[in-house]
Structure 1
Amino acid sequence: MEAKPAQSEYDQVRDDLRMLREDLARLSKSVADNQKGNISSLRDEIRRESREAFDRVRQTGDEALNSARNAGEKAVHDVEHKIEERPFLSIIIMFLAGLLVGKLLDR
């Protein structure tokens, strides 16, 4: 009589182990799928933030370039204005600067 209860307990344990294996397989698959989704969303977020950082750097570079261009144009305009105010003095200064550079290069 005791053989039947032992056999049924053995069968019950065997069925429980089989169900546990199936549950563990489903859980592993679920975790793996969830991690794939997390990796994909993380990759997309990194890609988006990289693009935003690149755009910010490009915008800062464009602003610096425009600022330098404006400063250069202002300097050229100021020099042109000074030459227009005193053309004779400007010619003399350029002549003297040329002589000075010529003397320095002769040495």
Structure 2
Amino acid sequence: MTQAQGKPPLFDLCGGHPALDFVNSLDERFTEDGPVERLADYGDLLRFAQQSRLLDVREARRLAGSVPRQAAARALRSARQLREALASVLYSAVDGRPPADGD
């Protein structure tokens, strides 16, 4: 699910805020076919951060070239966990209920 260079952007940044766009990186969350993971690897996480203007090109390249493989996998796992905690809090607010314990 990664994006090759020269192709259109992988992320549809339509949420109006990077946090909302980050939640939307698990696309089609509520469809019958199930969700589509847009953060398939560490490179996707860096592309999201760069496209969202959270990292500039130089920072993204530095991280892509300097982070060991295991650390990149941990960062991706942590980012996905953060995304799901944020999604839970946001969906709770939309539903008018308090977030679940641990969110």
TM-score over 0.5 for the alignment?
no
- More helix, by proportion: 1
**TM-score, length basis structure 2:** 0.29
Q: Which has the higher contact order (CA 8 A, sep 6+)?
A: 2
**TM-score, length basis structure 1:** 0.28
